[in-house]
């Protein structure tokens, strides 16, 4: 995605967040599309809530955090599948693993043992090992990291 496209997304998200009282499950069009695209960018690792700069300082992309927050207003509660052992739950955020099969896991290149829960929009890099744990939405788990047993990676956290 180009910088111009990201800039457009940022503008739409910022405006929607400023007017968030009017954003709800009935909202369609540009706002919903921008939030969905932002979450997909986070999910794929193409965008991050926080990025380490060349000088070693961190830049926080507040607009991506706002996209995550707007998603709660846009999405209604529903049955979520893709949990460990084919478990389901009642939530607004689907599992990253919903509808995944062997091909998707192989392509992703990380290991997820039983009871590893990852919500959609969290990025998990190659060579990560997810022990029974919880990775929340918007999080970024970098390459070679082990998320150990019963650890929680919070919303929009950056680890590894």
Which percentage of the chain shows pLDDT scores above 70?
Answer: 97
Residues of the chain within CATH 2.160.10.10 domain(s) are 78-159
pTM: 0.94
Give per-residue pLDDT as tens, 48-75: 999 999 999 999 999 999 999 999 999 9
Question: Which architecture does CATH list for 3-74?
Answer: Orthogonal Bundle (1.10)
User: Residue 79 gets which letter from DSSP?
Assistant: E
Tell me which residue of 129, 126, 132, 121 sits closest to 87, measured CA to CA: 132
pLDDT at 81: 80
pLDDT for position 86: 78
**Structure token digits, residue 23:** 């954003």
What stretch(es) of the chain map to CATH 1.10.166.10?
A: 3-74
Best CATH choice for the domain 78-159 from the list 2.40.30.10, 3.40.50.720, 2.40.50.140, 2.160.10.10: 2.160.10.10
**Spatial CA neighbour of 5 closest among 34, 28, 27:** 34
pLDDT over 80 (residue 4): no
Task: Tell me the average pLDDT of the chain.
Answer: 95
């Amino acid at each position: 995605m180009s910088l111009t496209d990201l800039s457009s997304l940022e503008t739409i998200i910022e405006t929607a967040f400023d007017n968030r009282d009017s954003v709800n499950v009935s909202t369609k069009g540009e706002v919903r599309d921008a939030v969905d695209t932002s979450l997909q960018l986070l999910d794929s690792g193409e965008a991050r809530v926080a990025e380490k700069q060349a000088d070693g300082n961190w830049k926080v992309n507040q607009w991506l955090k706002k996209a995550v927050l707007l998603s709660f207003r846009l999405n209604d509660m529903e049955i979520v599948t893709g949990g460990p052992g084919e478990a389901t739950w009642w939530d607004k955020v689907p599992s990253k693993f919903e509808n995944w099969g062997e091909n998707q896991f192989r392509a992703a290149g990380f290991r997820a043992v039983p009871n590893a829960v990852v919500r959609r929009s969290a990025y998990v890099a190659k060579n990560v090992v997810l022990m029974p744990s919880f990775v929340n939405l918007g999080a970024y788990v970098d390459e070679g990291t082990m998320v150990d047993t019963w650890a929680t990676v919070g919303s929009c956290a950056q680890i590894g």
